[in-house]
Amino acid sequence: MNDARPLRIAIIGAGPAGIYAADALMKSAVPVSIDVFERMPAPFGLIRYGVAPDHPRIKGIVTALHKVLDKPQVRLLGNIEYGSDIDMATLRRFYDAVIFSTGADADRALPIPGIELDGSFGAAEFVSWYDGHPDVPRDWPLTAEKVAVLGVGNVALDVARILAKTGYELLPTEIPPNVYAGLQANRALEVHVFGRRGPAQAKFTPLELRELDYSPTIEVIVDPGDIDYDAGSESARRNSKQVDMVCNTLEQWAIRDVGARPHKLFLHFFESPTEILGEDGKVVGLRTERTELDGAGNVQGTCVTKDWDVQAVYRAVGYLSQHIPLLPFDTGTGTVPNEAGRVLLDPAAADPARRYLPATYVTGWIKRGPVGLIGHTKGDANETVACLLDDAAGFARADEPHPDAVTEWLTGQRVPFTTWAGWYRLDAYERAIGMPQQRERVKVVERSEMVAASEPERHELRIG
């Protein structure tokens, strides 16, 4: 074992979780050399492709992440798909350990009749579309005048807000031309958000909730009959300032007069979706069952149903991680089984050599599931990195640890990878596109254009 060289670490995923892991590694006393692999040509993961474009305050997290990737001990290798462009055996050649931080970008299933109908969508798909993800269709069917959004988390609010806003309102943001055109043609006049429990059990944050009311075109409406609390709900309010703030906001909206803003956004509580209604294969409605509080903050069905006139349904009931090749996977939780970030191979084994997959770790949503805010992944990263460093003395060191070895291999495999310097070029390119429109940037959607803009010859690209 050559202890004189830095520990070579590969991190799979350049979103916040992966970058926080790189930061934690660099802050340790152990010399490290880190390559962060990203399947997209650009870094930042959820920040770039999962945050609504009208949330610049959240996108400000990029500033902190940027400083991490600027450090000499870390290198970005983008446009590389683990499992197809590079596999585990190859990673073992070049790195002493691997951390997976692949996040969660698929929709959790909602097993109700009609979910497969034309006009039934997953929120993750829609978010990817309006965030300009290269791997989703360029057009989105926005023909429904009445739309249902299932779920009462921040993603549900984002989806509802984007559906209710005009394209013109979002034009100052970074949305690409295809998204602006789609939103300008959007016919939605009513957006109905449904939660099966009450106001005190809603999962959105107070700031996200209040932002619904900022748009001059959106009238937020809450039925006074949905403002209801039991002992469990009152306890939740007393124990959480955020819960109390959410309830206060909803109460204020419930007692005010309905205004004249053209787009109506209804927040419904105690309505549990039971079926998406269809005709000729298309969504024509949503059926819900009225629920009631049981005293402990949970709800029970009342067998009273209602049919809602909607032509599209978006389910925002949670994200789900994808199975990572050659790693164990819990399909129920959508996570890689682990202990404090160490990947579990045989939970029944007492011997660590059999219990854990050697030198393999997870962090972020693939580790603990898609819950919590972006900043919560920092604690995940610290825990995982601490385990990695504790194990480092027992690693079977990489055969080809020199940083040039992996890039030479990628070049030999004709993988058109991007780099951190390339991100600076792409960033400048997007800003240059936005400048004539007095916009901070216009996001590039096409993968080939992103890769081309990341190359040194980017000046040959025509900016229009």
> Do 93 and 149 belong to one domain?
no
Distance CA 380, CA 340 (A): 8
Beta bridge partners of 297: none
> Do 307 and 325 belong to one domain?
no
Centre a 10 Å sphere on the Cβ of residue 298 and count the other Cβ atoms it contains: 14
> Do 180 and 259 belong to one domain?
yes
Q: pLDDT tens digits, residue range 113-162? A: 999 999 999 999 999 999 999 999 999 999 999 999 999 999 999 999 99
> Do 160 and 207 belong to one domain?
yes
Domains: count for the chain:
2
> Do 278 and 248 belong to one domain?
yes
Q: pLDDT tens digits, residue range 90-104? A: 999 999 999 999 998
* Reported pTM: 0.93
Among the candidates 383, 399, 416, a domain finishes at 416
Beta bridge partners of 293: 299
Task: Determine, yes or no, domain membership for 433.
Answer: no
Task: Determine, yes or no, domain membership for 129.
Answer: yes
Helix ranges, 174-274 (H): 177-184, 206-211, 231-239, 241-255
CB 414 within 8 A of CB 85: no
Q: Give the contacts of 437 (CB within 8 A, at least 6 positions apart).
A: none
Amino acid letter at 137?
Answer: P
> Do 125 and 196 belong to one domain?
yes
> Do 406 and 265 belong to one domain?
no
> Do 122 and 259 belong to one domain?
yes
Distance CA 127, CA 318 (A): 13
Q: pLDDT tens digits, residue range 165-205? A: 999 999 999 999 999 999 999 999 999 999 999 999 999 99
> Do 194 and 221 belong to one domain?
yes
> Do 256 and 152 belong to one domain?
yes
Question: How far does Cα 335 stand from its chain's mean position?
Answer: 15
> Do 138 and 40 belong to one domain?
no
Distance CA 170, CA 442 (A): 12
Among the candidates 395, 416, 437, a domain finishes at 416
Domain residue limits at 81: 7-105+321-416
Among the candidates 262, 285, 319, a domain finishes at 319
What average pLDDT does this structure show over 232-256?
97
CB 38 within 8 A of CB 119: no
Question: Does 463 score more than 50 pLDDT?
Answer: no
Describe the strand order of the beta sheet including 74-78 as a list of residue ranges: 338-339, 342-344, 356-362, 97-100, 7-12, 32-38, 74-78, 418-419
Distance CA 446, CA 452 (A): 10
Chain-wide mean pLDDT for the chain?
Answer: 94
Q: What is the DSSP letter of 74?
A: E
Distance CA 59, CA 53 (A): 9
Q: Which helix (H) or strand (E) holds 307?
A: strand 299-308
> Tokens 């109390």 — which residue?
244
CATH of the domain at 198: 3.50.50.60
Percent of the chain at pLDDT > 70 equals 97
Nearest to 50 by CA among 101, 111, 123: 123
CB 356 within 8 A of CB 394: no
> Do 188 and 305 belong to one domain?
yes
CA dihedral (86, 87, 91, 97) in degrees, to 10, reads 130
Q: pLDDT tens digits, residue range 272-288? A: 999 999 999 999 999 99
